[in-house]
């Protein structure tokens, strides 16, 4: 049986400030707009070139909110787009997926960012929001959910889905357990207790990790793929940052979080044995391959993706968080529709996707991005 789951900076660009580490605390405010198109800024530094090939159709304001997982991508997209399209003002508030969907349903925003698909009830409610239409999902940015660990003397570790399921359900409790030794025959594993850490808050990251466990190891993980943690035992913390901090500071600890948290804290990550060739390391490239292995299962212009955990592909990382922009297929607000289509066309285009890997995101595979752009053009 197949298992599937339907996740202002003045005169220099936000992209350059992200790389430089400046303005790290700047939120996505509409006023961070007009930028230089060439020459040098007031400090004598060369200004970033204006992004090429951006269709600046229509001026106006656009508001979105939701997923924190895509916050850095949105910061980059908004600053780059506003440098190219000076008449547009875009704001994105990273309140979390649930709040983003709720604001979209109230027509407070033109789009909501979410790491999980809307329920059937939420789709039904959206028909009041989208007059004459309904909400659809547009996959826009993905990334690997990394499994980080802190094990003195061990810098490479392979685990598979059944073993991960038993570790996070407190049924494998020491690092030198036979199941772990079997997957790592050439590694000297210490006899340390395992301390699995999970999110205490409802989280799209949790949902995607549990979806993987339920789909790839249903006999070992008898729980649902919910946003709330379903496993037994272990420690808990709110937010990926807290989980990553616990892993980084506590020997014997293992936890799950977006790849950027592992990269920023120097946390070693698990390679996943999917049964399809060599174990797979979490990278933006292997996560993109994982997205490419998914199937579009949404109806009409809905581009919901489903991942088949029973048929892994070589080189494809299996634990992927996909963030969707939720929009109306019909009945969008007339004042923001032109800039909505222009902005989402840019984010799903080659210009919008090309720098995502440097931010630890997985760019959309070309075939998926093409479908998203086609759907964006039909919004009304």
Residues 66-124 have pLDDT tens digits of 998 899 999 999 999 999 999 999 999 998 888 999 999 999 999 999 988 898 999 99
Percent of the chain with pLDDT over 70: 87
Helix (H, G, I), strand (E, B) or coil at 25: coil
H/E stretch holding 341 reads helix 337-347
Q: Are the C-beta atoms of 363 and 284 separated by less than 8 Å?
A: yes
User: Residue 239's pLDDT is what?
Assistant: 87
Helix (H, G, I), strand (E, B) or coil at 339: helix
Q: What's the mean per-residue pLDDT of the chain?
A: 87
Quick one: average pLDDT of 350-374? 94
pTM of the model: 0.79
User: Residue 135's pLDDT is what?
Assistant: 97
Alpha-carbon radius of gyration of the chain:
21
Cα–Cα distances (Å) from 1 to 215, 308, 309, in that order, read 10, 10, 10
Whether pLDDT at 308 is above 50: yes
Residues 224-237 have pLDDT tens digits of 878 889 999 999 99
Whether pLDDT at 13 is above 90: no
User: What is the per-residue burial (b if ≥16 Cβ within 10 Å, else e) of 354-363?
Assistant: ebbbebbbbb
**Structure-model confidence comparison of residues 29 and 220, the more confident one:** 220
Residues 262-288 have pLDDT tens digits of 999 999 999 999 999 899 999 999 999
- Distance, CA of 321 to chain centre: 5
Identify which of 212, 207, 232 has the alpha carbon closest to the alpha carbon of residue 323.
207
Kindly state the tokens that stand for 182. Answer: 């079997």
Rounded-to-integer distance, Cα 78 and Cα 15, Å: 10
Cα–Cα distances (Å) from 144 to 99, 291, 300, 370, in that order, read 23, 10, 28, 21
Q: Quick one: DSSP state of residue 48? A: P
Whether pLDDT at 36 is above 80: no
E strands, the chain, are 60-66, 88-93, 111-114, 135-149, 158-160, 195-199, 235-237, 253-258, 268-269, 271-273, 295-296, 305-306, 320-328
Residues 198-221 have pLDDT tens digits of 999 888 889 899 999 999 999 999
Q: Are the C-beta atoms of 73 and 356 separated by less than 8 Å?
A: yes
Quick one: average pLDDT of 161-167? 98
Rounded-to-integer distance, Cα 177 and Cα 180, Å: 6
Quick one: average pLDDT of 172-186? 98
- Distance, CA of 102 to chain centre: 19
Whether pLDDT at 173 is above 70: yes
Identify which of 353, 334, 342, 318 has the alpha carbon closest to the alpha carbon of residue 139.
353
Residues 41-75 have pLDDT tens digits of 444 434 567 777 788 886 789 999 999 889 999 99
Strand 235-237 to 195-199 pairing: parallel
Cα–Cα distances (Å) from 53 to 44, 84, 348, 375, in that order, read 27, 9, 12, 19
Rounded-to-integer distance, Cα 298 and Cα 303, Å: 5
For residue 366, name the pLDDT band (cuts at 50, 70, 90). Answer: very high
Half-sphere exposure of 256 (CA within 13 A, CB side): 27
Rounded-to-integer distance, Cα 243 and Cα 195, Å: 11
Rounded-to-integer distance, Cα 304 and Cα 324, Å: 8
């Amino acid at each position: 049986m197949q298992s599937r789951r339907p996740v202002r900076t003045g005169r220099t660009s936000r992209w350059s400030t992200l790389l430089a580490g400046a303005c790290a605390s700047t939120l996505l405010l509409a006023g961070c707009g007009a930028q230089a198109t060439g020459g040098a800024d007031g400090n004598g530094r060369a200004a970033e070139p204006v992004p090429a090939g951006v269709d600046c159709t229509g001026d106006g304001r656009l508001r979105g909110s939701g997923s924190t997982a895509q916050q850095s991508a949105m910061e980059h997209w908004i600053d780059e787009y506003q440098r190219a399209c000076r008449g547009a003002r875009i704001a994105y508030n990273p309140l979390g997926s649930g709040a983003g969907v709720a604001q979209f349903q109230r027509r407070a925003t033109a789009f909501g960012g979410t790491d999980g698909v809307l329920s059937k009830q939420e789709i039904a409610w959206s028909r009041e929001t989208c007059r004459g239409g309904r909400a659809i999902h547009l996959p826009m940015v993905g990334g690997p959910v990394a499994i980080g660990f802190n094990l003195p003397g061990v810098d490479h570790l392979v685990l598979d889905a059944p073993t991960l399921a038993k570790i996070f359900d407190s049924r494998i409790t020491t690092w030198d357990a036979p199941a772990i030794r079997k997957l790592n025959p050439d590694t000297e594993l210490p006899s340390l207790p395992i301390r699995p850490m999970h999110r205490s808050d409802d989280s799209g990251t949790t949902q995607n990790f549990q979806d993987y466990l339920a789909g790839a190891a249903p006999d070992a993980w008898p729980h649902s793929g919910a946003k709330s943690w379903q496993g037994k035992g272990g420690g808990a913390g709110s937010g990926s940052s807290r989980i990553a901090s616990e892993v980084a500071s506590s020997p014997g600890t293992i936890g799950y979080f977006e790849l950027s948290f592992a990269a920023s804290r120097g946390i070693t990550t698990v390679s996943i044995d999917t049964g399809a060739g060599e174990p797979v390391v979490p990278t933006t490239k292997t996560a993109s391959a994982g997205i490419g292995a998914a199937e579009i299962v949404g109806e009409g212009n809905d581009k919901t993706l489903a991942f088949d955990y029973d048929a892994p592909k070589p080189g494809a990382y299996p634990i992927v968080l996909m963030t969707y922009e939720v929009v109306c297929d019909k009945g969008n607000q007339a004042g923001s529709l032109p800039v909505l289509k222009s902005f989402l066309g840019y984010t799903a285009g080659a210009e919008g996707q090309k720098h995502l890997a440097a931010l630890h995101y997985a760019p959309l595979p070309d075939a998926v991005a093409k479908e998203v752009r086609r759907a964006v053009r039909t919004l009304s």
